[in-house]
Structure 1
Amino acid sequence: MIDDLDLGFDEPERGEKGRHRRSFVRKRNGGSGGGRGKTFLALLMALVLLGGVGGGAFYGFDRIQNYFVTPDYDGDGSGEITVEIKSGALLADMADALVAADVVKSQKAFVEAAEANSRSKNIQPGTYKLRKQMSGASAVTAMLDLKNKIVNGLTIPEGRTSMNVYKLLSDKTKIPVKNFQAAAKDPEALGIPDWWFTRTDGKKSVKSVEGFLYPDTYEIPPKATAETILKLMVNRFLSVTGEMKFADEVQEKLGGVSPYEALIVASLAQAEAGNADDLGKVARVAYNRAYGEFPCNCLEMDVTVNYYLESIGKPTKSSKQMTESELNDPKNPYNRKLRGMVPTPINSPGKQALEGAMAPPKGKWLFFVAIDKQGHSEFAETPEQHERNKVKAQEAGII
């Protein structure tokens, strides 16, 4: 950038003019004799002037350098200090708070680092444990690490239904469950774009907030309403899936499957997989059953039955406890025997479940069963293989 500045210096021209000037003076004085005192005085004055010019030039350079180079500390800082980021704070507001606490050297250092980090939009209001004299980039990284946040909020675990989430939120905030239910009736007003509800499987779209209340730890703002809290959770979902490029990846790698259907599959995997390692494989089973060579093209997953039972106010049950009428209730829109995907997600899947549904491993599996107490499953392509796996599960005391 300094190259773009016209500082008015032209050394060759200045030197040439200097030589002309000196020659002209000598001619006027008529030779070299009799001017030694004047020459000495002129030299002394030149040195003084050059010293002044040099000092001024240094000062000017220092000012220019500070203008173009962002004042910033190096490294991760030292010591420990707490800094509060108020609700609604913009990047500049955050930077002001950090500068005041001597966490970062300048507002510009933090703002530039935050703008260079796409995750910085996930920095939430609250109180953070930070260090003094951190680089702008280190401060941004630290504020994105939840272990540095002094949390006085609420953790929403993965795999909770919206009904369960409302109960957790109500217990924490004392806002009635009915307020959350009312706010959830208009998912688009909470920030969910209409395109998210698009389906390509020929089934009618059901606009529900289910699946969009991202599981995370949230700092509940003072005087929060049910609507503001649900918006916070929806925004977190959109941020996470946006960073993952979830919708783009699904449409590119799972041709014919809409992002909404993939979200449903993520929720199924979250509910069915007993171990994070199996989330992708369970997702593949769901795709294979609904869209592949499975006789009924139905999901046959008991977790969908439990979701329906919870939605109508009945207690959930283990597979062994479910009656035939519950398993195959024709009034249940989440009936395990219905063709294709269920109407909506059945819970709030976490990032690993979303990743598994977005890019499941290749395989023709149609069946799975847990075979150890750590929740790992064996997967099978045929009923015969599945029966052998069930024997393993029985021997391990799982079923």
Structure 2
Amino acid sequence: MSQDDFFAQIGVEPPAGSADSPPPTRRDRKRRTKERKRRRRRRRIVTTLIVVLFLAGAGYGGYWAYRGLREAAPAPSVSDYKGPGETEIQVEIPDGASGQEIGQILYDKGVVASVGAFADAYAANTNSGNIQAGIYTLKTKMSAANAVAALLDPASQTRRLTIPEGFTQTQVKEKLMSTGGFTPAEVDAAFADAAGIGLPAVAGGHVEGWLAPDTYNVSENATATEIVAEMVRRTVSRLKNAGVAEADYETVLIKASIVEREATPAYYGQVARVIDNRLADTDGDTQGKLGMDSTILYGLGRSGGMPTQAELEDASNPYNTRIHAGLPPTPIGSPGKGTITAVLNPPAGDWLYFVTINLDTGETRFASTYAEQQANEQLLQQYCAANEAKCSGGTHKS
């Protein structure tokens, strides 16, 4: 290998004036220049590849290092209470609620510490899908697992008992048995336990009229006496809040129960005024007699229809207000707040009679004289002639 070839191989110009190297030709210089450019390109490519490989290796190693640290670290825990809870609270679970939705309800009520804790406990319990809609007696600050268990326990579920306005003692008893799950003997014993249910002395031992129309939550462990006592308590509370003196409790309930049976809400006040006017009319046309069929039917054990002529004339029925002057012996049902208010604040008027002349609209006419009442009853007869089937169940008139 000549000296020129050696220096060309390593990419270096041979020393000037070398003894055995002739002066380079123009072609030699061009060839050497191209060779130097190729060598520089190869070095740049190699350097770039080395950098890329280094960065890729560093990133790959970093990922696995991060993954290893993450898997080694403990998972974040959700907040949860410990134990069976503290204070009783009633919670309503709507129909179709999901586990997440139930958890949110319980969290909002302070039962569980977090929705996440309940969701985990719900998912862990294989029976959680059996949780039913309803009202439950739970406790505040329960562990999520205890909350799920309580929702699955029938003893935690509370039944809802609704008593409508105007219900009689007999109808309330049927509700207590069908919805409350009590036996006839349990209900009868509760009704008879005046002291146990807090029945005021003015009631004379009779619960009729004192069983407040309302909605009650009946827990699995509740007794009939406890539920009836709550009904009486609410009635007493309403009378007190309305400013009724205790000596007048029974009188107000009797009047309100008659209004409840005789009138629609639009006419509560006017019917209440008719009652007062007829009671005061001892020397007039009514002779202090209410003359209302609703009281007669109550005494016969019926809540609808029309009394027969013989029943209208039956003096043995103490609730026959066509025969007996004054108020009947007891209320004839459970009056609501609206009728109690109407009895306490009736509008001014000298009406002694009333009759519902249209059973579709409930339109009722009031009269001060019997002649006016007869004219109004003609309107009712015209209506009944055109609607015979609707009049077969009886009409409201006095």
TM superposition shift of 1:153: 0.3
- Alignment partner, residue 178 of structure 2: 171
State which of 310, 322, 329 in structure 2 corresponds to 1:325. Answer: 310
TM superposition shift of 1:294: 4.3
Alignment of 1:59-98 (within 5 A): 85-86=89-90, 98=109
TM superposition shift of 1:152: 4.0
- Alignment partner, residue 333 of structure 2: 347
* Counterparts of 2:195 and 2:363, CA distance in 1: 38
State which of 257, 261, 272 in structure 2 corresponds to 1:267. Answer: 257
SS of alignment partner, residue 236 of structure 1: helix
TM superposition shift of 1:162: 0.5
Give the 3 Å change call, closer, same or farther, for CA 102–279 of structure 1 in structure 2: farther
| AA partner of residue 309 (structure 2) | E
TM superposition shift of 1:178: 3.0
| AA partner of residue 371 (structure 1) | I
Identity %: 34
* Counterparts of 1:152 and 1:226, CA distance in 2: 13
TM superposition shift of 1:127: 5.7
* Counterparts of 2:233 and 2:303, CA distance in 1: 30
Q: Deviations over 1:11-52 (max 9, x none)?
A: xxxxxxxxxxxxxxxxxxxxxxxxxxxxxxxxxxxxxxxxxx
State which of 173, 183, 201 in structure 1 corresponds to 2:190. Answer: 183
* Counterparts of 2:237 and 2:219, CA distance in 1: 19
TM superposition shift of 1:353: 0.6
Give the 3 Å change call, closer, same or farther, for CA 170–246 of structure 1 in structure 2: same
1:371–1:377 CA contact under 8 A, matched in 2: yes
2:199–2:205 CA contact under 8 A, matched in 1: no
2:357–2:363 CA contact under 8 A, matched in 1: yes
- Please tell me the root mean square deviation across aligned C-alpha atoms, in Å: 3.0
Alignment of 1:106-117 (within 5 A): none
Give the 3 Å change call, closer, same or farther, for CA 172–326 of structure 1 in structure 2: same
* Counterparts of 2:237 and 2:337, CA distance in 1: 11
- Alignment partner, residue 292 of structure 2: 301
Give the 3 Å change call, closer, same or farther, for CA 178–291 of structure 1 in structure 2: farther
State which of 339, 356, 372 in structure 1 corresponds to 2:342. Answer: 356
TM-score for both structures, normalised by structure 1: 0.55
TM superposition shift of 1:330: 2.1
Q: Deviations over 1:110-152 (max 9, x none)?
A: xxxxxxxxxxxxxxx9569xxxxxxxxxxxxxxxxxxxxx984
SS of alignment partner, residue 354 of structure 2: strand
| AA partner of residue 252 (structure 2) | A
SS of alignment partner, residue 190 of structure 1: coil
Q: What 5-or-longer segments of structure 2 have no aligned partner? A: 1-86, 92-106, 115-133, 138-156, 385-390
| AA partner of residue 383 (structure 1) | Y
1:190–1:227 CA contact under 8 A, matched in 2: yes
SS of alignment partner, residue 246 of structure 1: coil
* Counterparts of 1:221 and 1:97, CA distance in 2: 22
TM-score for both structures, normalised by structure 2: 0.55
* Alignment of 1:385 onto 2:372: yes
Give the 3 Å change call, closer, same or farther, for CA 152–396 of structure 1 in structure 2: same
* Counterparts of 2:108 and 2:290, CA distance in 1: 52
SS of alignment partner, residue 355 of structure 2: strand
1:85–1:126 CA contact under 8 A, matched in 2: no
Greater shift, 389-398 or 230-239, is seen at: 389-398
Q: Deviations over 1:294-328 (max 9, x none)?
A: 43211111111111121xxxx55512xx2222222
* Counterparts of 1:351 and 1:151, CA distance in 2: 26
SS of alignment partner, residue 266 of structure 1: helix
TM superposition shift of 1:224: 1.8
Higher RCO by CA contacts (8 Å cutoff, separation 6 or greater): 1
TM superposition shift of 1:214: 0.5
The alignment of Structure 1 onto Structure 2 pairs a total of residues equal to 243
2:273–2:349 CA contact under 8 A, matched in 1: yes
1:285–1:366 CA contact under 8 A, matched in 2: yes
| AA partner of residue 309 (structure 1) | L
* Alignment of 1:225 onto 2:211: no
* Counterparts of 1:84 and 1:392, CA distance in 2: 59
| AA partner of residue 324 (structure 1) | Q
Give the 3 Å change call, closer, same or farther, for CA 288–178 of structure 1 in structure 2: farther
Which of 1 and 2 has greater Rg? 2
SS of alignment partner, residue 396 of structure 1: helix
